[in-house]
């Protein structure tokens, strides 16, 4: 099954960014996972909210290919608390998490409900 593409919400340098609702994590996202295309891992932060009645895990998958020379460290698994628990995850190391073709893969534990928002940090000025 194809992963669901989730796009960035860019954070505004020297300004503000209005809050966004994010992408709903439903059975399809839990089954297929998320793909972030044209990823810049070092400038990527995920906000994951869990509305399930129990704590659930979000998993950022290690990369594949020669660019992911730190992939041996394994996936990053983060527990997100029950009933509106929120976690910010990232930024990430390219050498560990970047997939071939400049992608990032995110998966969810079975039964995960909530939202995911992908933020892109601005470059330092």
- What is residue 19's predicted lDDT score, i.e. its pLDDT? 86
pLDDT tens column, 27-46: 999 999 999 999 999 999 99
Q: Could you tell me if 110 and 60 are in contact, meaning their C-beta atoms sit under 8 angstroms apart?
A: no
pLDDT tens column, 59-98: 999 998 778 899 889 999 999 999 988 999 999 999 999 9
Chain-wide mean pLDDT for the chain? 92
- What is residue 125's predicted lDDT score, i.e. its pLDDT? 59
pTM over 0.95: no
Domains detected in the chain: 4-120 (2.60.120)
């Amino acid at each position: 099954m194809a992963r669901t593409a989730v796009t960035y919400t860019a954070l505004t340098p020297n300004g503000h960014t209005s809050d966004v609702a994010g992408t709903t994590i439903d059975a399809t996202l839990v089954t297929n996972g998320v793909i972030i295309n044209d990823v810049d891992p070092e400038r990527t932060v995920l906000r994951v909210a869990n509305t399930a009645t129990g704590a659930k895990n979000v998993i950022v998958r290690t990369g594949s290919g020669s660019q992911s020379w730190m992939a041996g460290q394994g996936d990053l698994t983060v527990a997100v608390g029950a009933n509106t628990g929120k976690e910010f995850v990232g930024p990430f190391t390219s050498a560990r998490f970047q997939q071939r073709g400049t992608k990032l893969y995110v998966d969810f534990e079975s039964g995960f409900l909530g939202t995911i928002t992908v933020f892109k940090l601005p470059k330092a000025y």
